[in-house]
Structure 1
Amino acid sequence: MTIDISQFFQVFFDEAEELLAEMERLLLAIDIGAPDAEDLNAVFRTAHSIKGGASTFGLNDMSDVTHVLESLLDRIRKGQMALTAEHVDAFLAAKDILKMQLDGHRNGAKVDLESVADVRMMLQELSKDIVLPAAPVPMVVAAPAPRADAPLAGTRRYRVELPALPQADTDALVAELGLLGAVELEPPGAAGQALTLSTRESADDIVAICSFVLDPDTLKVTELAPTPAQVAADLAAKKQAEEDLGFGFFDPPEAPAKPAADDGYGFFQPIEQIRASAASVSTSIPSAPMEEPAAAAPLDQIDFNEIVVEKKGAKKDDKSVAMPGAESSSIRVSIEKVDQLINLIGELVITQAMIEQRSEALDPMLHERLLNSVSQLTRNTRDLQEAVMSIRMMPMDFVFSRFPRMVRDLATKLGKKVDFITNGAATELDKGLIERIVDPLTHLVRNSIDHGIEMPEARLAAGKTESGRLFLSAGHQGGNIVIEVADDGGGLNRERILAKAAQNGLAVSDAMSDAEVWQLIFAPGFSTAETVTDVSGRGVGMDVVKRNITAMGGTVEIRSAKGFGTTISISLPLTLAILDGMSIRVGEEVYILPLGFVIESLQPAAADIKEISGKGRVIKVRGEYLPLIPLYQMFEIAPRYTDPCDGIVVILESDGRKAGLFVDDLVGQQQVVVKNLESNFRKVTGISGATILGDGGVSLILDVSALMRSSREIADDPVYS
């Protein structure tokens, strides 16, 4: 049988990337002094899975590295070698090499063969025999392998007949099967090699292991009859389980001080309470006084399926206690299919709006049933739209998970100690925004470590802990998600920022508020670093951070106190595909104004409008003069009104600046499906996209930030700056 496995390459690439990320997470969280056995086994399983997949697809460079890595991990998890910080560093370096090799196979990226050789040599050097110290070292020692003369209860014996294989493949397969149990090789014959395997695993598990090396159809697995010793071991185990009253699953009570029926064997609710509960729902179990345990119902009458037992010592996130079938609870779908589905839902929303608008002209008495159906369609469409949009939502952990390694490496490089704390990793954000927020957050985190958190001796001198703390959090706030990067470092230096801004030719004054001063660091080329390093100091980055966040419809705020730290807060819309907007009219045109920029709308009095000769007009709002942007002049439209007192002024805020947008009328407020204008037409200044209204007409979505910048350029007035 010939199988075309090329179609599964992408699946392997995706799964391998997830496994590498999981490996890094486990390694960064592991306790080197007293490693948890399950954590060590989990790291081993990730390496083993990557090795198996790489071997299947013929990616020998990856399988070579993982083979050495797996061997070293196996010795550590079996207690033959103590885990050290040097091991963790080597494992992280191996993870980076595997990621580089994976990118090479997936995208054709360059692979540094010299680095690969260095890492392999480092792993092999660490794999050499190391004598454990005489003093007791906290570690978990694996149980000895089962012997033929002392079989473990529950094991089964299989005879595995292999086809003729190269010796190297046979040795590799025997080593893999040895992880399942005890292997006994038979002398090789003309038809191939045969072996006997004693294991607690099933025949399917054996076939799955062998399928990495050979075609499963050429394999023959036969279960053998148990040996007398095995039968005796099973009987002894069963008898011991019955004597312990735990049926092979629970530890026996250490020293029961009262009848077993009373204490529930240390795990269960007392039998009398079970009876009382059962009696309350009209069951037929008779009640007996607690001082007469002999009258208790036999233990084998208790339905253990109805009793919830918490596994002793189990972690809350222990995957071993997952519900059956959890493996099939998700499906991998390409993002192109999701985007196509979202586009179709957008068209459905537009069609529903058209139907609803046309139905408004119908007589409610004559068309009651039709109008009820339209209302039901509206509700169902909204629910469907929200459900489909949630498909694109991804947890922020997708972003947060890549920072612990970066923080660890950067802090080590700078000689600092940093405790990295995350909160709200389960908060969801649109996939498109998640991919675009990674770079800005990376820059902010690096800045906090380099500029914010002080050196250990400086922190101790200031009465702080030696290790600085870096916080990364995410949470919902209204219709937005707020992401914060905070540190407990030295905070921003107001005087240095003002001096540097003045040196760069920026308009500054001592009367500026702290919030205005902090915004100066987003100016292009701004940096207060005294020396330029490979981490930061060139003044490139913070302006890009703000520009990228603004392009996503977000805002950036800074809070800082000298000596106490700095917090940078980013507010983003949950998705860019659907927008809450305000419909405005200028002349015969209807535009959509993103609601996130709108503060209020008003009809000004004549006394509130002031003309600045040759520079345009301003409007006075509660003692503050704001520039007035006539939308009809920006787009050269014939308006209904040219006097702001006859029309409406909408107060907008963007990038910490306010302005009044002069329009003819407000039409209403609605959710709109955003369509990309550039892919269908071209880039238009002041326009960020388009949407289709309920009447079938196209309405343009205003780019508020671009409008405010354009108006300042046109007016060239200090009041606009």
Structure 2
Amino acid sequence: MAIDLSQFHQVFFEESFEGLDVMESALMALDPDNIDSEIVNSIFRSAHSIKGGSATFGFSNVASFTHILETLLDLVREGKRGLSVSDVNLLLTSVDCMREMLSQLQGGDDGVTEQSKTLTVKFSELLNEGASGDGAEGDVSADNAEPDVVDSEDESTGEVVRWSIQFAPEKGILKTGNDPFRIFRELSDLGELKCEACLDTLVGISSMDSELCYLSWSLTLDTAEPRSVIDSIFEWVIDESDLTIELVDTSAQQEVEGIDGIDEQANDTQLSAWNIVFIPHENVLLTGNDPVKMFRYLQDLGTLSVSVDLASLPSFSGMNPESCYLAWELQLQQCTASEADIHEVFEWVRDEADIEIRAISLEKPPVAASKSLQVQAANDKASTAPSMTEQPPVKESAEKTTDKAVAAPDNVACLDSARDQRDGFTKQEKPAKVASPARSGGVAAGENSSIRVGIDKVDNLINMVGELVITQSMLGQLGNDFDLDKLPKLIEGLSQLEQNTRELQESVMRIRMLPISFAFSRFPRMVRDLSQALNKTVHLEMSGENTELDKTVMEKIGDPLVHIVRNAVDHGIETPDIRAEAGKNETGTVILNAYHQSGNVVIEVIDDGKGLNARTLIEKAVEKGLFTEAEAESVTEEQAFDLIFQPGFSTASVVSDISGRGVGMDVVKRNIQALNGVVELKSELGKGSKVTIRLPLTLAILDGQLVRVGTSTYIFPLVSIVESIQCKREFVNSVAGGCDVFKLRDDYVPIIRLADVFHVKADNRDIDNTLMVVVESEGEKVGIVVDELLAQQQVVIKSLERNYRRVEGVSGATILGDGTVALILDMPGIVELAGDSYREIENDRNSFVAQ
């Protein structure tokens, strides 16, 4: 049965990218001068998982690249070589390369990059240097050095040697996601592999649990690889099995085999071989007969090889657990029994099965241990077993070892095949599992477990909650219009519905929440690379990584944060010599901090660098024509710092590859405002700077103030509102261009009529006694005239751009309780829509204040 693996690709890619993040974090924490074995093991495990998953899905380029990286890490784990700073840089570059390869595979390409070819050559040279003992990279620190006497089993001489492996996994090994056949497949990649499945612990079919493993294996591996490579393959199951790996003296074995061969030739005339076709009827289990017990009886007569015919196996949903759907073909060799003795074994099932027994001749009977099932791992293409049954591939030379290659223990693998069909994919096709710290078992009691949820499913759930909010609002409107005796009860029920709705909404919103560490995780690597490129020493401190933020906001805040941190390292932190002259520590510090405050998430980027000179900023602004020299005299320090966010404004005197072109901070501010957030900059000359970003927890639901203009209803985000006041004519003055300003205490606030912006008819054009909502936009206060203030309520944001088109001054829409649609206003956009009149207000403002 052919299985489409593409349905599992996304899981593999997600786990692989997570593994690369683990590798990068561990490499950043690795000290080449004092190598921590736990960190190295963590890096190795991640690489090993990616390699195994890549091989399973046929991504051979990624598997091959990861294998050579894994080889280097294995030498470090064994203490046979150390790591220099350049080695760590090379490993970090390889992580970037693997990300690119996986991204290409996601896009349907082959995953081969020029960088991967170059890095493969570099790793090969590095391994060759280590093998020859040349170079500093081969030195091992005293803490990690092995004893002078090294076990010869751990050294590879380049010659093929034989290893005897006894592998007895625990019964529950399959439940932890580990698959013995995947281990056999990896072993077969190392050389010629022979397997014997021991049936001593095998129970009857009726007593079997399809999720338990009842077999143990005796393996013989001929390979030129060192012992450490074999150990690495069993690393994931070492805590879940009894494992013995021994080097075999092949010279002595060859002498024994020669003597055995003489004995076999002498006994050829006494031994016989039989081919048995056994096709039980479906009801054979109901009669109390167990085919596996019969196979044990046959083993007492000679050496038994078993293969299974799955042709009549139905789908799992159509199976009856009390019926038998399998057929077997058996070969009984080195047999001293007669045909009558074999028929006697099947005596009790003669009426419930079709049986065919015929003698066959073999030139040389194979040698096998008694009471074991001899199995040689066959190449996938050469195997006669269906694709549902997994068997490890071996080299072509292995096919010549015996006359009859038998697939991996089919007499019990058939049970696993039925389970595989139920699960929808085979064990061979199951993606590699990312290891948890406790590899030996499942999730312990009290530990948190997690599942992957597609973002589309969460979005659908959020939409349903949004509809519930609308329903609650509608019922509230209905309750206000009723005048019945039971109205108080209706209102009480609506109040309870409102509480339940809010709790459900908050619970659902938490599903989308992710710790901000997902956004922070890229910065240790970035700061490290930047500091090396700029010849600076920079220490990055991060706090509040568990602060949660909506996934959509998280994705969009990443790039602005990158630019701010890059500026802190490039423009803020001084070089070590300059810091020393200023009496500072030569190592500069950049702090990333996140916390919740008043329903928002606050992110701070702080550096202890040279800070900003407000006077220098003002002088640059005058040069660029942003201020006249007269206006510059009255510019405050806060206004000077805000110049950083002007398009094309930069404090860098030299343009570099990193920054200095004046492109970025204006985009940062625009992107943050698009998230309904604000960004502030504070700085002190000689001591450093602090950038503060305030963001809403989510973009899906908004706390808003409903207002009415004419017959239309609009919603102001509460976060933008400063206050609401009633206008008095004596506080309103006109300026050039016919625009009005309102004197608000010691300040003057430009007035914008919402009716003029959206071309609707207002109730009253007279400014006297009208309502004005004072909002803050881009650091400036603006008064927006409305006809009436309605209720404050939470609203579900619906995208106009997705359902209609982009509308300037509008960030979205919502459905009110009475079914009408209200526009949610974008305050910076509203100011822009005010057009030339608002810009004239800004230009004439200072002269008006002077009058």
Trace 1:292-307 onto structure 2 (pairs within 5 A).
none
Q: Is the 8 A contact 1:53 1:212 kept in 2?
A: no
Match status 1:698 vs 2:760? no
Trace 1:589-628 onto structure 2 (pairs within 5 A).
589-628=712-751
What residue in structure 1 maps to residue 16 of structure 2? Answer: 16
Greater RCO structure (CA 8 Å; 6+ sep):
2
Residue identity matched to 1:138? D
> Once structures 1 and 2 are overlaid, which stretch shifts more, 457-466 or 341-350?
341-350
Trace 1:337-352 onto structure 2 (pairs within 5 A).
337-352=457-472
Q: Is the 8 A contact 2:645 2:665 kept in 1?
A: yes
What residue in structure 2 maps to residue 433 of structure 1? Answer: 553
Q: Is the 8 A contact 1:585 1:591 kept in 2?
A: yes
Superposition deviation, residue 683 in structure 1: 2.1
Residue identity matched to 2:638? A
Q: Is the 8 A contact 2:81 2:140 kept in 1?
A: no
Superposition deviation, residue 194 in structure 1: 7.9
Kindly provide the CA deviation profile for residues 437-463 of structure 1, in whole angstroms up to 9, marking residues without a partner as x.
Answer: 111111111111111100110000000
Q: Is the 8 A contact 1:37 1:140 kept in 2?
A: no
Q: Scaled by the length of structure 1, what TM-score is found?
A: 0.77
Tell me, in whole angstroms, the C-alpha distance in 2 between the residues paired with 1:522 and 1:101.
Answer: 37
Q: Is the 8 A contact 1:36 1:140 kept in 2?
A: no
Tell me, in whole angstroms, the C-alpha distance in 1 between the residues paired with 2:613 and 2:721.
Answer: 33
Note the residue ranges of structure 2 that are not aligned, 5 or more in a row. 154-165, 171-179, 194-222, 254-365, 369-373, 379-389, 395-405, 413-435, 846-851
Trace 1:263-662 onto structure 2 (pairs within 5 A).
324=444, 329-363=449-483, 365-367=485-487, 369-507=489-627, 508-662=631-785
Kindly provide the CA deviation profile for residues 663-696 of structure 1, in whole angstroms up to 9, marking residues without a partner as x.
Answer: 1111121111001112222222221111111111
Residue identity matched to 2:662? G
Structure with greater Cα Rg: 2
* SS of residue in 1 equivalent to 2:610: coil
Superposition deviation, residue 718 in structure 1: 4.1
Superposition deviation, residue 42 in structure 1: 0.9
Superposition deviation, residue 351 in structure 1: 1.1
What residue in structure 2 maps to residue 219 of structure 1? Answer: 408
CA RMSD of the aligned region, Å? 3.4
Residue identity matched to 2:670? R
What residue in structure 1 maps to residue 840 of structure 2? Answer: 717
Distance 1:436 1:211, change over 3 A: farther
Tell me, in whole angstroms, the C-alpha distance in 2 between the residues paired with 1:643 and 1:145.
Answer: 97
Tell me, in whole angstroms, the C-alpha distance in 1 between the residues paired with 2:473 and 2:391.
Answer: 55
What residue in structure 2 maps to residue 137 of structure 1? Answer: 142
Q: Is the 8 A contact 1:56 1:212 kept in 2?
A: no
Q: Is the 8 A contact 2:443 2:449 kept in 1?
A: no
Q: Scaled by the length of structure 2, what TM-score is found?
A: 0.66
Residue identity matched to 1:537? G
Tell me, in whole angstroms, the C-alpha distance in 1 between the residues paired with 2:709 and 2:375.
Answer: 85
> Once structures 1 and 2 are overlaid, which stretch shifts more, 537-546 or 85-94?
85-94
Tell me, in whole angstroms, the C-alpha distance in 2 between the residues paired with 1:557 and 1:659.
Answer: 19
Distance 1:326 1:404, change over 3 A: farther
What residue in structure 2 maps to residue 90 of structure 1? Answer: 90
Q: Is the 8 A contact 1:68 1:120 kept in 2?
A: yes
Distance 1:47 1:140, change over 3 A: farther
Q: Is the 8 A contact 1:615 1:716 kept in 2?
A: no
* SS of residue in 2 equivalent to 1:495: helix
Kindly provide the CA deviation profile for residues 422-475 of structure 1, in whole angstroms up to 9, marking residues without a partner as x.
Answer: 111111111111111111111111111111100110000000011100111111
* SS of residue in 1 equivalent to 2:542: strand
Kindly provide the CA deviation profile for residues 53-106 of structure 1, in whole angstroms up to 9, marking residues without a partner as x.
Answer: 000011111111111111111111121222332321121111111111101101
Superposition deviation, residue 114 in structure 1: 2.9
Superposition deviation, residue 538 in structure 1: 1.1
Distance 1:594 1:368, change over 3 A: closer
Superposition deviation, residue 110 in structure 1: 9.1
Kindly provide the CA deviation profile for residues 597-627 of structure 1, in whole angstroms up to 9, marking residues without a partner as x.
Answer: 1001111222111122533111000121111
Tell me, in whole angstroms, the C-alpha distance in 1 between the residues paired with 2:230 and 2:809.
Answer: 68
Residue identity matched to 1:24? E
Superposition deviation, residue 135 in structure 1: 9.3
Q: Is the 8 A contact 2:707 2:786 kept in 1?
A: yes
Tell me, in whole angstroms, the C-alpha distance in 2 between the residues paired with 1:604 and 1:62.
Answer: 69
Superposition deviation, residue 221 in structure 1: 11
Tell me, in whole angstroms, the C-alpha distance in 2 between the residues paired with 1:165 and 1:622.
Answer: 83
Q: Is the 8 A contact 2:579 2:586 kept in 1?
A: yes
Tell me, in whole angstroms, the C-alpha distance in 2 between the residues paired with 1:400 and 1:319.
Answer: 26
Kindly provide the CA deviation profile for residues 245-288 of structure 1, in whole angstroms up to 9, marking residues without a partner as x.
Answer: xxxxxxxxxxxxxxxxxxxxxxxxxxxxxxxxxxxxxxxxxxxx
Residue identity matched to 2:66? T
Residue identity matched to 1:531? V
Superposition deviation, residue 193 in structure 1: 3.7
Tell me, in whole angstroms, the C-alpha distance in 1 between the residues paired with 2:65 and 2:139.
Answer: 32
Tell me, in whole angstroms, the C-alpha distance in 2 between the residues paired with 1:416 and 1:620.
Answer: 51
* SS of residue in 2 equivalent to 1:570: strand
> Once structures 1 and 2 are overlaid, which stretch shifts more, 430-439 or 682-691?
682-691
* SS of residue in 2 equivalent to 1:360: helix
> Once structures 1 and 2 are overlaid, which stretch shifts more, 365-374 or 396-405?
365-374
Residue identity matched to 2:589? R
Q: Percent identity?
A: 42
Residue identity matched to 2:567? N
What residue in structure 1 maps to residue 335 of structure 2? Answer: none
Tell me, in whole angstroms, the C-alpha distance in 1 between the residues paired with 2:644 and 2:33.
Answer: 43
Residue identity matched to 2:616? R
What residue in structure 2 maps to residue 183 of structure 1? Answer: 245
Residue identity matched to 2:569? I
Tell me, in whole angstroms, the C-alpha distance in 1 between the residues paired with 2:603 and 2:587.
Answer: 23
Tell me, in whole angstroms, the C-alpha distance in 1 between the residues paired with 2:560 and 2:636.
Answer: 25
> Once structures 1 and 2 are overlaid, which stretch shifts more, 128-137 or 430-439?
128-137
What residue in structure 2 maps to residue 63 of structure 1? Answer: 63
Q: Is the 8 A contact 1:522 1:546 kept in 2?
A: yes
Distance 1:165 1:532, change over 3 A: closer
> Once structures 1 and 2 are overlaid, which stretch shifts more, 642-651 or 595-604?
642-651
* SS of residue in 1 equivalent to 2:834: helix
Tell me, in whole angstroms, the C-alpha distance in 1 between the residues paired with 2:840 and 2:605.
Answer: 35
> Once structures 1 and 2 are overlaid, which stretch shifts more, 117-126 or 465-474?
117-126
What residue in structure 2 maps to residue 271 of structure 1? Answer: none
Distance 1:211 1:591, change over 3 A: farther
Q: Is the 8 A contact 2:188 2:392 kept in 1?
A: no
Q: Is the 8 A contact 1:480 1:571 kept in 2?
A: yes
Tell me, in whole angstroms, the C-alpha distance in 2 between the residues paired with 1:62 and 1:104.
Answer: 11
Superposition deviation, residue 383 in structure 1: 1.0
Residue identity matched to 2:408? L
* SS of residue in 2 equivalent to 1:458: helix
What residue in structure 2 maps to residue 674 of structure 1? Answer: 797
Residue identity matched to 2:696? P
What residue in structure 2 maps to residue 206 of structure 1? Answer: none
* SS of residue in 2 equivalent to 1:678: helix
Q: Is the 8 A contact 1:527 1:539 kept in 2?
A: yes
Superposition deviation, residue 369 in structure 1: 4.7
* SS of residue in 2 equivalent to 1:640: coil
* SS of residue in 2 equivalent to 1:717: helix
Tell me, in whole angstroms, the C-alpha distance in 2 between the residues paired with 1:656 and 1:536.
Answer: 26
Distance 1:371 1:82, change over 3 A: same
Tell me, in whole angstroms, the C-alpha distance in 2 between the residues paired with 1:98 and 1:38.
Answer: 22
